[in-house]
Amino acid sequence: MIVVFLVNVVIIATTVAIHYEFLHRMTLLMPRLKMLHRFRIVLGVFVALTAHAVEVWIFGISYYFMNQAEDWGHLEGNFDGSLMDCVYFSFTTYATLGTGDIVPFGDLRFLSALESLTGLVLITWTASFLYLK
């Protein structure tokens, strides 16, 4: 149980750190750009979406390796065990869509629940960042 907790904390800390770095770099870069304000906002949206995609891939890769291990649980449903299916599951979980065509079992349930919460917080953080810019 402690190992599951620690691995989940490391994955979430990694994604939060990546998100912070993306937004911090944009904070430093945006004032120096010699372009119209609306184009800076479009660039900010593009960079934020890129950050979210990177974070989703981190969770997806984590699901892929955890699904391969015997003690971490597994994913079932419309799922063939591929990395792309794990990333698809990650996208639907991160965005809190929860389509239900892939379902986690075992310890993967904890990571998927934490990913939903993390996605909600990071998407909100992005929205407030872009509003302030």
Yes or no: say if 73 and 66 are a contact pair by the CB < 8 Å rule: yes
Q: What is the CATH number of the domain that holds 26?
A: 1.10.287.70
pLDDT tens sequence across 55-79 = 999 999 999 999 999 889 999 999 9
pLDDT of 94 above 80:
yes
Yes or no: say if 66 and 108 are a contact pair by the CB < 8 Å rule: yes
Helix (H) or strand (E) holding 103: strand 102-105
* Position 80, amino acid: D
Give the pLDDT band (50/70/90) at residue 93. Answer: very high
Residue by residue, what is the 3-state secondary structure of 50-90? HHHHHHHHHHHHHHHHHHHCCCCCEEEECCCCCHHHHHHHH
Give the pLDDT band (50/70/90) at residue 1. Answer: confident
Find how far residue 91's CA is from the centre of its chain: 7
pLDDT > 90: percent of the chain: 80
Q: Measured between alpha carbons, how far apart are the two ends of the chain, in Å?
A: 42
Name the domain count of the chain: 1
Yes or no: say if 116 and 96 are a contact pair by the CB < 8 Å rule: yes
Q: What is the pLDDT of residue 12?
A: 98
Q: Residue 83 sits in which domain range?
A: 2-132
